[in-house]
Structure 1
Amino acid sequence: MADDLDDIDAILSDENFDFVGQSSQENIVSDSACSEDFVDDFDDAWHAELEDALLEGFVDHTIIRNICKCRILPPIHRAEVWKICLNIASRGNALNCWDGKLDLTEQNQIHEACEKIVDQSKTEDTEQALANLELIITFYCKSRAIKYDTEYAWTFLLQPMLELPELDRADLYNCFYAMLARYIPRESLPDAPYNLFRLILLYHDPELCSFLDSRKLTMQMFMKPWLRTLFASHCKRPVTLALWDIYLQRADPFFMFFLALVILVNAKEQVMNTMLDKQKNEIADALTEFPVALETVDVEDFCQLAMYFSDKTPQSVRKGYQDALFSGPMSLSGSKESTRVERELAQSLCIQVAVPDILLSAQPDFSSDERSESNQVRFFLVDCRSPDLYNAGHLSTAFHLDATLMLREPAEFKMAIDALSNAQEQAIQAGSAAGGEHLCLIGSGVEEEDQYMYMVIAHLLKNHRSYISVVRGGFKSIITYLSDVNINLSEWITGTSSPKQLLNLHKSSEHSFESAKENAASSSSKAPTESGTMESFMKNLSITLKSKSHNIKEKVTKFIENTHQEDDMSHMNTNYNGKPYRGTQPVFSIGDEDEHNAEEPYPNVPKKKEPVYEDSDVDEDDLVDLDEWFKQHNVKNPTACFLVLQTGRRFPAHLAVDKDDMVCLREYKAFKKSKIVTRRSLALVSKITSKRSCPELITFKFNVPTEGENEDGEAKSVEEVDRYLIPEAGQATKYIKQQIMRVLDAAES
């Protein structure tokens, strides 16, 4: 692991690799298809071998790869090799069946775009080049029933081909069609490739990814022209030709992601040190222009670094998404599969690894000699399930980490993380089958149980730990897969339970949570139907505001002036009940007495159905555009956060304060909109609490008036609770408290 980091650091250092300097002669890592021969080679013997093979005929892509070994091609053979790599060498002229009419609604836009590209090209016959471009794009739109859009940047994709005189009009169309089909992500999933790239960046450089996220800079803002044109729009023409030589030999559509990753890693220091005061659009524009500095002599080192990162990325990235993004059956926008892929990539906390890849890495008989010669990613497996489930059965090579310690016993959790790092390092040094520099966490496969594991993942990423992934489907999917392929579980699984018991255990675990949901839905309370409910409610609300505003204002003032209190560790409950975010005494609060009980976390909260916030349940009519809503309601300082349910589930949201209310808008990324899920009057805030073990977790309590009066003649009320995980909790709560005082001042007067 240390040696690999030394290698990559050497290549990235100024004296070895610079987009505008001399290229490195050092070889790091390459894949099996373009192996040890991908180094600077001053012997042109392979040129003659390539020429002989092309003259003999019967050359396919495999022969080309074996001869060229991912090197820049001789210009004289470039066009012929490209046709072989794209598998169009013997394809006919598709334009013969077309009448040649240029009568699309967008024809003027097509002509102008083609004219602009031809003016920038070095073709001798510009009129013929312009005619070819316009015919090709028009025919493609008609044959595919696509409405032309300049954002597609097809002219940039065609421009390098124009400079190969050996390609006639039919070849140009066939090359263009094959490039779009194989290497350009589908328009039916517009956000998926960029969300996938973010996960790849997060896997290799979480610090840089966190910086871009903090500036709200999405990958689309700078990557879109790279992906749509394979860098042709932002590279010098000789650089593009050399880059495509290697790209087409590799025949890997995902290679573009790793080329983009190299650019970002190379630009990291400049971005994080010199662009701190820049707006996100300025940063995006600067990043987009970085490939312009590439020179032809840099291309092989550029690709070599991309191969390094490719080899260091789990193959599940390709296997899981290639069909959806590139070469599989055509995925229609809005279909069930496309929606699943979009949602999974948008909501994933980290890369998900398929079970076969985990088992391949965890083979007990995988020798250290074989390991040193293989580019297979090696995982250090971390089982984050409860001790009972782990002891019942686990992979024999998995390290156990009780994820609940993070909230229950923070000190012990820190010790466990240190022990994990030590065990990982020892396993790597010993050449053990359990050793690997890539951490892969295993959950149960049940969403509610795995919330603790997600918090551990977030903790590791926050501390800039690279190579973090999770097993797709958790331990349940491991058991299911081994059973489906008729593998004896005892060969892989160690524990106290029999194989049959393990299967039943995980089925019953999932069933118990489903039953809990059904019971919660069936036991939801009925709304009162008494006459005069609205009038009575408004009367009680008015009385409550007038009678308590002065008292609450004093408590808010006292809280703002004295936010630092002595630590009180009596909140650590030894009889931990396994529910997240519960069982601890408030660190700060608005109120004179301690109402918190470790055995009954929220005694005044009425038992009611837990709200469900699933994308499939939302009505699009209830969704709002976040920026427009903020502007319409004059919201200042909206806070990005997570809405935390009592079950521990978290959902991305924004907390906003308008004139009189605190509003939570839950994000629905699949729709790129938000929904108002709670609206609370600031005048009804009775208490604000935080956890010592997790200060970012803020709990707001509200005394909500109900019908009737209590024994003392006061208006009845119930306590309702909202919880949020707020990264900048201090600033957010300070602003909310200031708004509470403003509302209370108004109510008092």
Structure 2
Amino acid sequence: ILHEDCLKISKSVLKEIEAKSPSNCSDTNKFLSEINDDLEDFSNTPASPNEQILPNHTQLACDFEAVLTHFSKTYSYAYTPNNGWLPILSTLYSVLLCRSRNELYAYFTSVHHRFVASGFDKDNRACTVLRLLLQYHEPQLCSFIHCKKISISDFANNWLMSLFSSIISHQTLVLLWDVCFLLSDPLFPLQIAVVMLINAKESIEDQENLLQFITQLPALMQPDDVISLRDVSLIFSEQTPSSFRTHYLPLLFGNADPEPGQCLLSDSMCIMVMAEEVLQYTLGISADKRIEYVPPFLSFHSIHSSNSSRDDALSDCSAASRKSLHDACLRYFIIDLRTADQYNAGHLPNAFYLDANLMLSNLQAFESSVESLLSSHTEGEHLVLISSGEEEDVNLQNMIVSHLLRMNVSYISVLDGGFRAIHEALGYLGCSRVLQAHNPLKCQICLTGEASLDKAVLVTSTFSINAGKIAQSANEAAKKAVQSIKKNPVLSNFMSRGFSSLVRNAPAAPVEEKTSPKKVAPLQNTHVAPKAYRSASKALIS
């Protein structure tokens, strides 16, 4: 299959190269020779005079096949006809006119590793992350596509695996890749896909053959649209929590473990936000309250400076510094889903309480509470739901997320790890200073931490007892070894001379041949044990 595909695409590549030759050139080889001279001037590596500039389609197909075969065997990836390898490879060759297989292979691996998802179940992972991103910004469109029984992977897999090279015109693709390479952002193709879908929202909702229309959507892009698409994509990137990049960038382009990554995608109804990002916003809006506390996850240069004192460091992290943190992050509307007693035992100062149990007991009262919260929610704020982190509360939290998505509420996320993550990020000192109405005697996380501390103390005490038993056993074994050495004349003679020489810090005297053994020196007065003694002791003990 690979050989046949390489033959087909090599013919089309050569036709594109011939079509790019100017009309004032006598033939294609003259045009290519001019390009070759420019490459020689740029790289200072002259080409061989017998080297053919433009190979025939058979030679080019062999080069493509060799590059992809080596790539497949090196990284244990299986080739499939629609995995995007050949479109990327052919585009690189037609633009760069690589002279050798090694050069073409280097370009291909660099682009593939940086911008194409890799690892376990890479196709489904990339499309799942795209669905979460589209749902975050435009839940109504995401729900509409889902209601039509169309999966994101049905049309987006070909986009992302080939970097749009299989669907976009060559002239537009070159400009789009220039933007991608200059930004050097692996998640930029995902943002482009989201922007294209949102821009065509009205057209998508009116189409009968929806799947075919969405699949061919990038083909409508013109070269003049690339710059506008880049600007809008960057705006959407700024309106996405930075935790999105922290969570999903290693999952798509790193060496993340399959099981935790799969749980991150399958168990999440929406994007997860890290506790540190939420606390940055909380500390920013609390600047006027003079909270003189710097959480451990925020590192300021003045704190680590040897010339500044703690008071100077805290003054640097004053209202202005925390306000700058607030301006640098998104504006969050925090909804606390824990029980009322736990909310009253400590919560973020900008968190609003929502009784999650009402969704199971009284749905009408729950909907009324949600409407009241959303009425106080200003446009542009990003909703963050905080649960306790327990499994039962997480299931209830997912039900609330699903309810909000049916209401077409955008910018919905959940706190990764629940309120426990907030508690751990702040630490004991931070909880008492940042959290509002924090009561360690009633806070469930504080009580759980005290139980863990008592258990740790018990384990330490047990270790001390065991260590005493081990020392006692070692002393008894040492006494038995000493008695065994005293009974052995040869060892006694050697040990007496060895210890005497070591204690006096002088070289050992030569051993004299005597019929009767020399009197053994008392071992308890020696300070240094030679290797021979330790070896003999081990042998006797065994």
Same fold (TM over 0.5): yes
Alignment partner, residue 292 of structure 1? 219
For structure 1, list consecutive stretches of 5 or more residues without a partner in the other structure: 1-105, 276-281, 332-336, 429-435, 511-749
**Is 1:122 paired with 2:122?**
no
Change (3 A) 1:165 1:211: closer
Change (3 A) 1:255 1:196: same
**Is 1:156 paired with 2:109?**
no
Using the TM superposition, give the Cα deviation of residue 270 of structure 1 relative to its aligned residue in structure 2, in angstroms: 1.5
**Is 1:179 paired with 2:137?**
no
Alignment partner, residue 67 of structure 2? 136
Using the TM superposition, give the Cα deviation of residue 505 of structure 1 relative to its aligned residue in structure 2, in angstroms: 4.1
Alignment partner, residue 301 of structure 1? 228
**In 2: Cα distance, 1:499 partner to 1:230 partner:** 55
Q: 2:385 aligns with which of 432, 441, 444?
A: 441
Alignment partner, residue 340 of structure 1? 260
* TM-score computed with the length of structure 2 as normaliser: 0.65
Q: 1:222 aligns with which of 152, 155, 163?
A: 155
1:436-494 per-position Cα deviation (integer Å, ceiling 9, x unaligned): 610000001001133333222211110100000000111012212323xx752123212
Using the TM superposition, give the Cα deviation of residue 145 of structure 1 relative to its aligned residue in structure 2, in angstroms: 4.0
Alignment partner, residue 313 of structure 1? 240
Give the match's secondary structure for 1:191. Answer: helix
**In 2: Cα distance, 1:455 partner to 1:213 partner:** 18
* TM-score computed with the length of structure 1 as normaliser: 0.48
Alignment partner, residue 44 of structure 2? none
Alignment partner, residue 340 of structure 2? 387
**In 2: Cα distance, 1:134 partner to 1:490 partner:** 64
Alignment partner, residue 131 of structure 2? 198
Change (3 A) 1:487 1:134: farther
Give the match's secondary structure for 1:164. Answer: helix
Using the TM superposition, give the Cα deviation of residue 411 of structure 1 relative to its aligned residue in structure 2, in angstroms: 4.1
Give the match's secondary structure for 1:234. Answer: coil
Q: How large is the RMSD of aligned CA atoms in angstroms?
A: 2.7
Change (3 A) 1:198 1:442: same
Q: Which moved more, 1:258-267 or 1:474-483?
A: 474-483
Using the TM superposition, give the Cα deviation of residue 162 of structure 1 relative to its aligned residue in structure 2, in angstroms: 1.8
**Is 1:252 paired with 2:252?**
no
**In 2: Cα distance, 1:372 partner to 1:300 partner:** 30
Q: 1:492 aligns with which of 434, 449, 454?
A: 434
Using the TM superposition, give the Cα deviation of residue 495 of structure 1 relative to its aligned residue in structure 2, in angstroms: 2.1
Map residues 476-555 of structure 1 onto 2, 5 A cutoff. Answer: 476-483=420-427, 488-498=430-440, 501-505=443-447
Query: Which residue type is aligned with residue 221 of structure 2?
Result: L
Change (3 A) 1:297 1:345: same
Using the TM superposition, give the Cα deviation of residue 362 of structure 1 relative to its aligned residue in structure 2, in angstroms: 1.8
Change (3 A) 1:415 1:156: same
Instruction: Verify the 8 A CA contact 1:192 1:346 in the aligned structure 2.
Output: no
Q: 1:421 aligns with which of 366, 374, 380?
A: 374
Map residues 50-89 of structure 1 onto 2, 5 A cutoff. Answer: none
1:118-169 per-position Cα deviation (integer Å, ceiling 9, x unaligned): 2553255252644432332232223334433222221101222223346433
Instruction: Verify the 8 A CA contact 1:383 1:398 in the aligned structure 2.
Output: yes
Higher relative helix content: 2
1:75-120 per-position Cα deviation (integer Å, ceiling 9, x unaligned): xxxxxxxxxxxxxxxxxxxxxxxxxxxxxxx553453354354255
Query: Which residue type is aligned with residue 219 of structure 2?
Result: V
Alignment partner, residue 355 of structure 1? 275
1:510-565 per-position Cα deviation (integer Å, ceiling 9, x unaligned): 9xxxxxxxxxxxxxxxxxxxxxxxxxxxxxxxxxxxxxxxxxxxxxxxxxxxxxxx
Using the TM superposition, give the Cα deviation of residue 287 of structure 1 relative to its aligned residue in structure 2, in angstroms: 0.7
Instruction: Verify the 8 A CA contact 1:382 1:442 in the aligned structure 2.
Output: yes
**In 2: Cα distance, 1:377 partner to 1:221 partner:** 32
Using the TM superposition, give the Cα deviation of residue 171 of structure 1 relative to its aligned residue in structure 2, in angstroms: 3.2
Alignment partner, residue 397 of structure 1? 350
Alignment partner, residue 176 of structure 2? 243
Using the TM superposition, give the Cα deviation of residue 313 of structure 1 relative to its aligned residue in structure 2, in angstroms: 1.0
Query: Which residue type is aligned with residue 191 of structure 2?
Result: F
Instruction: Verify the 8 A CA contact 2:389 2:419 in the aligned structure 1.
Output: yes
Rg (Cα) greater in structure: 2
Instruction: Verify the 8 A CA contact 2:89 2:108 in the aligned structure 1.
Output: yes
**In 2: Cα distance, 1:237 partner to 1:499 partner:** 67
Change (3 A) 1:369 1:494: closer
Q: 2:412 aligns with which of 468, 471, 477?
A: 468
- Identity within the alignment, %: 29
**Is 1:450 paired with 2:394?**
yes
**In 2: Cα distance, 1:154 partner to 1:416 partner:** 52
Alignment partner, residue 480 of structure 2? none
Query: Which residue type is aligned with residue 108 of structure 1?
Result: H
Using the TM superposition, give the Cα deviation of residue 507 of structure 1 relative to its aligned residue in structure 2, in angstroms: 6.3
Alignment partner, residue 108 of structure 1? 3
1:706-745 per-position Cα deviation (integer Å, ceiling 9, x unaligned): xxxxxxxxxxxxxxxxxxxxxxxxxxxxxxxxxxxxxxxx
Map residues 700-719 of structure 1 onto 2, 5 A cutoff. Answer: none
Change (3 A) 1:475 1:506: farther
Query: Which residue type is aligned with residue 467 of structure 1?
Result: Y
Change (3 A) 1:120 1:492: farther
Change (3 A) 1:195 1:507: farther
**In 2: Cα distance, 1:369 partner to 1:343 partner:** 36
Alignment partner, residue 300 of structure 2? none
1:218-241 per-position Cα deviation (integer Å, ceiling 9, x unaligned): 111000111011111111111111
Give the match's secondary structure for 2:224. Answer: helix
Query: Which residue type is aligned with residue 358 of structure 1?
Result: V
